[in-house]
Chain A
Amino acid sequence: MSQHPHDSARTHVTGESAYLCDRLPLPNELLVGFVGSPVARGRIRSVDTTAARRREGVVAVFTARDIPGTNGFGPLAHDQPFLASETVSHAGEPIVLVVARTREALHAALAEVRIDIAETTPVLTIAEAIRANSFMGETRVFSLGDVTAGFERATHVIEGAFESGAQEHYYFETQSAISYPAEDGAIEVHSSTQHPTETQHAVAAMLGLPQSRVVCVTKRLGGGFGGKESQAAHFAGLAALVTHHTGRPARLILERDQDMICTGKRHPFQSRYRIGIDASGRILALESELFANGGAWLDLSPAILDRALFHATNAYYVPNVKLVAKICRTNLPSNTAFRGFGAPQGALAMEHMIEEIARVLKTDPLEIRRINLFGKDERNETSYGQRVVEHSLPDLVERLAQTSHYRERREAILATRPGAVLRGISLVPVNFGISFTTTFLNQGNALVNVHLDGSVQVSTGAVEMGQGVNIKIAQCVADVFGIPVEQVRVMPTSTEKNHNTSATAASSGADLNCGAAMEAALRIRERLAHCACAHFVGEKGEISLKSQRQTAGVEFSRGVVFDRTRPDTRISFENLLRIAFMNRVSLGEYAHYRTPDIHFDRVSNKGAPFRYFTQGAAVTEVEIDRFTGMARIVQADILMDLGESFNTAIDRGQILGAFLQGVGWLTNEEVVFSDKGILLSSSTSTYKIPAITDLPERLHCRLWNSHPGPSGAKGSKAVGEPPLLLAISAWTAIRNALETVPGVETSSLCAPATGERILLLLDRHTAAKRAAR
C-alpha cells in the first residue's frame, strides 16, 4: 500500500505540464476551425466559401470533397463522416474546414462561410424515435429463467417507466489535435485521445495512407471520461487533412461551446418494466424494455447498450429475467462512452425499481436491497450466465450500514415532521463488471527500457488523463526491479512504440497495462538474475542466458540484487546492469498481456465476460429546501472493496471524483436541447457541473479488502468507473426525502433530479391538496 502522488503532480502544480494547446506553435503552423451545421437534420443545398477564401490570412478551405480516402470513422462501423457532404444529421456537425494563419482571420472567415440547408424535421427523443421506428444496431435480448412462471408466483407486480438524462463530459481540455508533416507524406498527429490506435487507424483510412505512415502521440489528457475514446479521432482527422494538403503543421483546438455543441454525451435511457415480488420483497421476475438514445451515428452505442444490460439488475439476483434493448437513431450528436458506459443507466433504473418495491411494501428500501443482493454461494447467477463468486457484497453492505449508522439516522429522519427542510437517506450498492465486454479488447502491450544508470522508461498503450495510470505502471515496474518509483518514467503514448492497443477505458487501463509492463520487466529481471548468478559465482567468459542457473533465489530489493541463500553477496542494480550490458544481454523488452479466463458469446448472450467485479456501497444523506427545491448533500459514507489497492491515494481520488461526477449527472447537470435539436445548455454558464460547494459537508471514504479472489494488477481491483454508480444513493436519498412528505408522488421522479423537478413534484402535491380542500 502506498500513496505515491500522480506522476505529473509536480509539473501540474507549477503549470509546466503541457497540454496540446500549450505546445509552442511552429512558425509555419496553421490554425484550423470548422463550420458546423446550424440545423439538426437536412440536405445540404449549397456551400459558399468564396468570401472566406478571399479573406486576408486565410490559407485554405476544405470540404468533404477534399478527403482523399474514407470519409467515415467510428469504432464499430465507420459511419460517421469527418465532414458532412450531402446531408446533415445533427446540429454542429462539421461541414467546412477553414484554415488560417491567425485566430482573428480564422474567426472572421468562419463567420463568412454560407451554408444553405433544406431543413427536415429531426427525430430527437426516444419517444420520437420509437414512433418513427428509427433504430440502429441489433435488438439485444438477455434472459434467464422463466419470466412467466416468475410473475405467476408473485404477490405484487409493479409496472412503470423510468428515464435518465444525458451528461456532458466537460473534460477541461477540449478536443484537440495538432498534426505535423513527416517526410514523404507521412503524418505525426498529436491528439488528445483515449485511443491512439483508433485515431491512427482513422487518420490513415481518411488519408488513404498505410497505417505504418501515421503515428499518433498522446502525452496526457486534460480529462477524458470517455468523451475522447471514439470521438477524438474526428478532430485528429480534420487536423491531419490540413497537413496532408498543405504540408504544414495544423492545430485544431475546439472552443468550449463548440465542443459541447458538436460532441456526444452520456446516453439518455428510457425503460418500461414489470417487476414481480413476493410478500417479503424478494424479486421473482423482471421484464424490461430499454431504449438508449444513440444520436446520429453508431459510435460505441452497441457496447454501451450491452453494458447497460449486464448491469440492469445492479447488485441483485433476479431468477427470472427478460431484458430487451434497442438503440434509437436520432438527430443529436452521436452519444458515446462516458464513465460507466451504460452501467450507471442500467443500475439506476434497477434502483428506481427497488425504491418502488419499498414504497409498495412500506418498508426500508435497504431491507429490499439486502434480501435481493447477489448471494455469496447461491442466488448469484446473472442474466448473462456468469456467477458473481468469491465476493462479500452482503457483508460489505451490512458493514457500511453499521459504520454509517444508516438505520438510526433513517429512524431519526422519519421521526421528525418535515418542515422547511426535507431530509432523506439512502444506501446503494454497486457491483461493476471489470473487463471490456468485447473480449478481444482485453489485451495490452508494453515496452520497458532499462538504462545503464538504473533509470527505466516504460511505454504502454495506456493514456494518462488524470486517473493516475502512469504512477500505477511505474510502481509495478519499480517493484519488479526493487528500485524507487522515482527511477521509473512512463513515456508518452505513441503508436510507434505500442500498437494495436485498446482504448484506455472500461476501468481497465491499469489492469491491462500494468500486466503487460510487469511481464516485460519480469523478463528483463530474469535475464538480470542470470547475470547476477553468474557474477556471484564468478563465472568466466561471456554470460550465456542458456545456462542452467538457480535464478529463483535472486532478490531485487532497495536498489540491490542478492541471492536469498547468501544475502551478504550482493551487487547494486546499476552495477548489475553494467555487467549485463558488457555481456551483450538485452536491457529492453516488449511484452503482451491478455486478460485470462473471460469469454462471451454475443449470439446466446451467455458467458463470463468479466474477470471480476468491483464492489462497494454508499450511504448518502440529503437536505432539500422545500421552498426552492434546492438539494444538498450533508453526508456521504463510502465503502469500496478494491482488493489489495497499491495506491490508496490515487484510488481515493478516483472514488471521490467519480462519486461527485455521478452526483452531477443525477442532480444538476441537465443537457437541454430545443425542439429543433439545438443545444441550449451549450456553455459553462448554462451547464453546471458540481462546484466545491457541492462537496458533501461530511465525507467518509474507506477501502475494505474483503475477499481474495480474481483481481487485476497486483491483487488490486479496477476503480475508474464503479464508484460513479455510488452517486445513485444521492438520487435515491432525494427520493426518500420527498417521501417524508405524505402524499408526494415520487414514482415519476426521474434523473436528473434537478431543483426544478423536485419543486414541481412538491408543488403538484400541494396544489392537489389545496384542490381537495
Chain B
Amino acid sequence: MRDSIQLFINGERVSIQGEDAFLMLADFLRDRLRLVGTKICCAEGDCGACTVMLGSPEEHAGRWQLRYRPVNSCILPVAKADGCHVVTIEGLRTGKTLDAIQEAFVEAHGTQCGFCTPGMIMALTGVLEAEGPISDQDILDGLTGNLCRCTGYDGILKAARLVNRARHVRLRDRWLELRLADEAARAFFAPYEIRWDGRRMIKPAGMPEALALKAGTSDLRILSGCTDLGVAHNKHRVRIENGLSLSAIRELAEVKCDASQLLVGGNASIAEFERVLVQQFPELREYLRNFASPQIKNVGTVAGNLVNASPVGDLIPLLLALDARLHLQSHEGGHRLVDLCHFYKGYKTMDLRADEIVARIEVPLPPGGDIVRAYKVSRRKSLDISAVSAAFRIRTKGGKIAQARVAYGGVGPTALRLTEVEGFLQKKPLTQKTFDDASRFAAELVNPIDDVRGSAEYRDILVRNLLRKFSLEALAEGGKS
C-alpha cells in the first residue's frame, strides 16, 4: 500500500508523507513549498483568497484528461488532492510573461491592496476553462466565491471582460507534453494509507474496503468535501485523527439520470448534481446559483450536505420536497433505504449508524406539470448561509391541488417538511386564499429561534411570506396549464 500522497503542483511531481499528509492544501503550499501567492484570509472557504485550480482526472473517449476546477485550498486537505494537479498563481504565467488574465487585471485596475488578487485570478481562470463565449453572468457566477474589500469589484469585472482569450491558454491545454493525466489517474484511483504519530489517513480502493474500514474504526471521519470539516480544523475545533477519502471509488462520484429518477453518488459534488438537476428543473437555476460559490460546489458533496445535518442545509428542503431517499450501506447490515423525511431525528442527529456510508441518494423525478420552487433568504444574496430556506412542490388536477410538498430550513433543529400544511393544501382549489391560509398555518407550526442570522420573528414572517411568494408563481404557472 502506498504510504504517501502523490500529486502534481504547477507541473511538478510532489510526494507528501507523514505529518504533512494531515495539512490543509493552502498550508502545505505556503509553509512547505513557499508558494505564498496563495493567501489565507478567512480560513473558512468564504472569501476565496486561497483559490487554486485543482485538475482531477476524467476519462473521455478512453483517454484520461485533467479537468480543472477552482477550489478553496485553505479547507481542502492535501489528502483529498491525491492524484490531482494543483495549479497556483505561481503556475499561471509562463516564465516572465504574464498570462492574459493577469495582464487584464493590471490594465483594468482590478487590484488595489492585492491580497484577494491571486485567488480572484485563479477563480477567473476557472471561468475561462469553459468552451465558447463567456457572459457577464458566467463571470459573476464564477467570482461569487471571491470577496474583495477594496475595489468595489468594478475593476475586477472590467478585467474579466477584458481578458484576451486568444492569449490565454486554458489549463487543460497546458502541460500536455508531460502527460500528467495518465499518471494522475493511476494515483487518483489507487489506495493509500498514511500513518503518523497515532493518526491515519486512508483511501481505500473500493466500496467493500471502505465499508470494512468504517465498521472497524470508531473515530474514522469520511473526508467528503470537507467544506465544514476543513473549517472546524482551521478553527481548532477538530483534529482529523483518522480520515477516510472515498475519492478512489468511481461509482460514488457519479450523478446518473434516467426517466424516473436521479441517482446521486455518495461522493458526488454539488456542482455535478447542479449540472444534472437544472436540466430537469430549469426553474431551480437561480436557487442553485446562489446556493454556494463554485469553489464550494466543486468539492462539497450532496451526501455531505445531508449528513452534516445543518438545520439550514440548503439542499435539504429541496430534496425533501422532491421525496429523496438515501441508500445506506454497511459492512454487516448490507443495504438500507431511508426516506429523507424520516432521516433527521433531532439537532444534528439522524438515522445513520456509525458503520454506514451514504452510497447514493435517489431523487424521483415527478411527472411533468409539477410546480417546483426553492428559495433562499440570506443577508447577502450569494455565498451566505440562509436565515430561512424553503422548497415547495405542488401537483394540480382540475384546478385543485392534488399533492403538495412544503419544506423549510432554518426554522427548527432540523430542516423539515410541514406535513400538516401539505395535508391542508390537498384537494384545495388553487387560489390565493388557499395559500394565504396555508401560509398562516405554516407560521403557526414552526418555532424558530433567534440567532446571528435572524430573529425568530423575522423567520416566522419568512415562513409565511415564502409560501405566499410561491403562490404568486404557482398561480401564474398553474393558470397556464
Contacts and interface: CB of A to CB of B under 8 A. Distances in A.
B28 interface: no
A670 B151 contact: no
A627 B465 contact: yes
Interface of A: 3, 5-6, 8-19, 21-22, 24, 107, 111, 170-174, 220-223, 225, 255-257, 420, 465-468, 625, 627-630, 632, 649-650, 652-653, 656-661, 668, 670, 672, 680-681, 683-686, 688-695, 699, 701, 754-756, 759-760, 763
A695 B153 contact: yes
A22 B111 contact: no
Contacts of A11: 114
A13 B98 CA distance: 9
Contact of A222 (B88, B114, B455): B114
A689 B43 contact: no
21 contacts: A13-B105, A15-B36, A15-B37, A19-B115, A172-B113, A222-B115, A223-B115, A255-B43, A256-B42, A627-B465, A627-B466, A628-B465, A628-B469, A630-B381, A632-B381, A653-B150, A653-B155, A658-B152, A688-B379, A691-B380, A701-B154
Contact of A653 (B47, B109, B454): B109
Nearest to B146: A692
A173 B114 CA distance: 10
A11 B148 CA distance: 17
B225 to A, nearest CB: 16
Given A6-B111, A170-B149, A692 B143 contact: yes
Interface of B: 30, 34-44, 46-47, 49, 88-90, 92-93, 98, 101-103, 105-107, 109, 111-118, 121, 140, 143-144, 146-157, 231, 235-236, 290, 375, 377-385, 387, 451-455, 457-458, 461-462, 465-466, 468-469, 472
A-B residue pairs, 5 tightest by C-beta = A15-B37, A466-B113, A12-B114, A222-B115, A466-B112
A449 B458 CA distance: 62
A690 B111 contact: no
**Of listed A13, A222, A420, A684, residue having the most chain B CB within 10 A:** A13
Chain B facing A: main interface SS? loop
A694 B147 CA distance: 11
Contacts of B109: 3, 5-6, 9, 649-650, 652-653
A220 B468 contact: no
Contacts of A760: 457-458, 461
Nearest to B101: A13
A688 B140 CA distance: 17
A13 B121 contact: yes
Contacts of B461: 759-760, 763
Contacts of B40: 21
B116 A759 contact: no
A18 B384 contact: no
Given A466-B112, A754-B379, A760-B457, A657 B150 contact: yes
Contact of A692 (B144, B378, B457): B144
B144 A111 contact: no
B100 to A, nearest CB: 11
B452 A686 contact: yes
B379 A10 contact: no
Contact of B235 (A13, A257, A680): A257
Given A14-B93, A15-B90, A628-B465, A683 B42 contact: yes
A225 B154 CA distance: 18
Nearest to A656: B152
Contact of B379 (A15, A17, A107, A668): A668
A107 B236 contact: yes
Contacts of B103: 13
Contacts of A22: 30, 36
Given A12-B111, A693-B140, A172 B152 contact: no
A756 B455 contact: yes
Contacts of B451: 680
A655 B105 CA distance: 18
Given A24-B34, A223-B149, A672-B452, A694 B111 contact: no
Given A680-B452, A692-B140, A694-B380, A420 B472 contact: yes
A477 B40 CA distance: 35
Given A22-B36, A756-B455, A173 B115 contact: yes
A406 B10 CA distance: 52
Contacts of B37: 14-16
B465 to A, nearest CB: 4
A589 to B, nearest CB: 30
B113 A173 contact: yes
Nearest to B19: A104
Given A15-B88, A627-B465, A653-B109, 19 more contacts: A9-B106, A10-B98, A12-B105, A14-B98, A15-B90, A172-B47, A223-B149, A255-B43, A256-B44, A257-B235, A420-B469, A467-B112, A652-B109, A680-B451, A683-B44, A685-B42, A685-B44, A688-B379, A690-B153
User: Could you say which of B114, B153, B382 has the most chain A C-beta atoms within 10 Å of its C-beta?
Assistant: B114
Nearest to A170: B149
A14 B39 CA distance: 12
A6 to B, nearest CB: 6
Contact of B154 (A222, A661, A681, A699): A699
B147 A689 contact: yes
B286 to A, nearest CB: 12
B380 A466 contact: no
A657 B116 CA distance: 14
Nearest to A669: B379
Contact of A8 (B114, B150, B154): B114
B42 A220 contact: no
A625 B381 CA distance: 12
A693 B38 contact: no
A120 B153 CA distance: 45
Contacts of A10: 98, 106
A695 B157 contact: yes
A745 B112 CA distance: 41
A24 B34 CA distance: 8
Contacts of B157: 692, 695
B452 A172 contact: no
A18 B39 CA distance: 10
Contacts of B115: 19, 172-173, 222-223
Q: Which of B121, B152, B290 has the most CB of A within 10 A?
A: B152
Contacts of A656: 151-155
Contacts of B151: 653, 656-657
B198 to A, nearest CB: 14
B383 A691 contact: yes
Contact of A13 (B111, B375, B379): B111
A49 B317 CA distance: 48
B113 A220 contact: yes
Contacts of A221: 113
A6 B39 contact: no
A684 B47 contact: yes
Contacts of A691: 144, 147, 380-383
B466 A628 contact: yes
A630 B121 CA distance: 29
Contacts of A111: 236
Nearest to A257: B235
Contacts of B88: 15
A633 B154 CA distance: 14
Contact of B112 (A3, A18, A653, A685): A653
A343 B327 CA distance: 59
A659 B152 contact: yes
Most chain B CB inside 10 Å of its own CB: which residue of A653, A661, A668, A754? A653
A58 B36 CA distance: 26
A18 B36 contact: yes
A462 to B, nearest CB: 14
Contacts of A420: 469, 472
A168 to B, nearest CB: 10
A303 B353 CA distance: 61
Contacts of B236: 107, 111
B152 A628 contact: no
A686 B121 contact: no
